[in-house]
Amino acid sequence: MRLLVWGRDGLGKSTLADYIGLRLSDKSIAVVMDTDLTQPTMPVRIPGIKVKKEKSLGRAIAGTGTSEIRPYLIQHPKHEGLFFSGVVSDEDYMEYELGLDSSVNAGIFMNSCAAQCDHVIVDCSGQRTDPFLPDALIKSDKILILISPDLQGISWWRSIKPLIDEMKVDHKVIPVISQLHEHHNEKWLQEGYGFNQCVALPFARELNLNRSSGRIEQNLTTRAGRSWQKAVDALISDLTRNRGDGRG
């Protein structure tokens, strides 16, 4: 399965992508790709593990490294089937000069991953210039779009909707209202956005604590955490059931 997780900064894309990756990697090979090439994202996934610069996703996309994909897939130390790809520690904001061919390289990279792994989860940055975005929108089986439960979220959704329509990928989109607090009214929000169906994920402080310590928690314990997990597990079942391959 190819999944795109997309949305504005800080809404919980990586938290969601990593958890889905972890679940899917139980029975198969899953790779989570963080397309933010402006900062190291690997240290958050696998804290304490020093990854060589040669293994940075930035190199693959800038076209300055090997064309093999295997060196860029970094295995999680505790979860055999889970791999990450992204910018590694000690790389800076200006490290990669991304030219016109970066979108082509990003497309080739994602295709190669899809050919060699069971599941590819592309955790796309909110930046408009993200070289992965065009191909990921077109080629993903499903597109999870994270939206905040406020006016800013509604405005952002309306601003990207023409692109979704233009690219004719509307049928693949699953809107995810992220970080809902108890004072939010899910039904009103859904109406405000104009969604027939969406996934609602609660704000769970526990996720924040886990992420700060580099853990992808398999069993959340707080009420909000359990409710987040239940909603994401249901989403994963839908995603895998709809494909009918039973993988994951």
Ligand X SMILES: Nc1ncnc2c1ncn2[C@@H]1O[C@H](COP(=O)(O)OP(=O)(O)OP(=O)(O)O)[C@@H](O)[C@H]1O
Q: Site residues (CB under 6 A) for ligand X?
A: 9-15, 36, 126, 178-179, 201, 203-205, 207-208, 211, 228
How does DSSP assign 156-210, residue by residue? HHHHHHHHHHHTT-GGGEEEEEEEE-TTS-HHHHHHHHT-SS-EEEE--HHHHHH
Residue with the shortest CB distance to Mg ion: 14
Comparing CB distances to Mg ion, the nearer of 127 and 242 is 127
Instruction: Return the exposure string of 164-179: e unless at least 16 CB atoms fall within 10 Å of the residue's CB, then b.
Output: beeeebeebbbbbbbb
Concatenated DSSP letters of 98-127: --TTHHHHHHHHHHHHHHHSSEEEEE--S-
Q: Which residue is nearest to ligand X (CB)?
A: 12
10 Å Cβ neighbour count for 9? 9
Nearest residue (CB) to Mg ion, 68 versus 92: 92
Q: Which is nearer to ligand X, 71 or 150 (CB)?
A: 150
Q: How far is the CB of 13 from Mg ion (least distance, A)?
A: 5
Nearest residue (CB) to ligand X, 44 versus 104 = 44
**Partner from Mg ion, ligand X, none binding residue 56, C-beta < 5-8 Å depending on class:** none
Binding partner selected for residue 230 from ligand X, Mg ion, none, CB under the kind-specific 5 to 8 Å limit: none
Binding residues for Mg ion, rule: CB under 5 A, are 13-14
